[in-house]
Amino acid sequence: MDWDERGDAFVSACVIHHLFHMAPGGQYNRQGGIWANPYGYVGDLPSKGLPAIVDWRHYRAAHAGICIYQGDQWPAEWRGLVFLGNIHQSAINCDRLTPVGSTYRAEKESKLLGPSKGDWEVGAGNFLVCADHWFRPVSAQTGPDGAMWIADWSDKYPCYQNATADPDGVDRELG
């Protein structure tokens, strides 16, 4: 979860649509399981919860961590962009928020990153794509120095299913 300069909260999600604008008291689409509040009203919402502010996905869509850049180490036009770790793509994805009424809409950032050049290239929606396929960005935050800090899980397998399918391939000492 992170906040923009107005104090609006946003959260990233893994596998389902990846970006939500959080409203006080809101209930949101869930990947699975029952609603946390059985008395919350979601009756006339089309998907049994407040919708994501995106209706598309980045490549492989396994997001972990969110950073709405608020630092001053980069040019001013980068402030307010949303950076998301994508552990399946070994990438940092980037979205641009646009206010729409009382909420937002997010689109793949292309104004500063340029047009899409493919899933494994920097371009629309892709701020950083790493050739090291052990790169698993699980958290990104604006640091006290104004730079973006990224925590890397560094693991051969992004999901337990992969490790279960190849138990001999798991490095028991390093990941």
- Whether residue 51 has pLDDT greater than 90: no
H or E element in which residue 162 lies: helix 160-165
C-alpha span between 134 and 89 (Å, rounded): 10
pLDDT at 117: 83
- Residues in Cβ contact with 57 at an 8 Å cutoff, skipping those fewer than 6 apart: 17, 18
94-120: pLDDT as tens digits: 999 999 998 999 999 999 998 888 777
- Of the segments 16-25, 117-126, 141-150, which one has the largest average pLDDT value? 141-150
Q: Which residues pair with 92 in a beta bridge?
A: 85, 128
- Residues in Cβ contact with 30 at an 8 Å cutoff, skipping those fewer than 6 apart: 16, 49
> Is 165 part of a structural domain of the chain?
yes
Share of the chain above pLDDT 70, in %: 81
- The whole-number average pLDDT for the span 66-95 is 95
* Phi, psi angles (nearest 5°) of residue 77: -70, -10
> Is 15 part of a structural domain of the chain?
yes
The model's confidence at residue 128, banded by pLDDT at 50, 70 and 90, is very high
More confident residue, 59 or 110: 110
C-alpha span between 152 and 51 (Å, rounded): 29
How many structural domains compose the chain?
1
> Is 26 part of a structural domain of the chain?
yes
pTM of the model: 0.85
* Cβ-contact 25, 3 below 8 angstroms: no
> Is 174 part of a structural domain of the chain?
no
pLDDT at 38: 66
Residue with tokens 């049994």: 48
pLDDT at 34: 62
Domain that holds residue 44: 2-169
Half-sphere exposure of 146 (CA within 13 A, CB side): 8
> Is 136 part of a structural domain of the chain?
yes
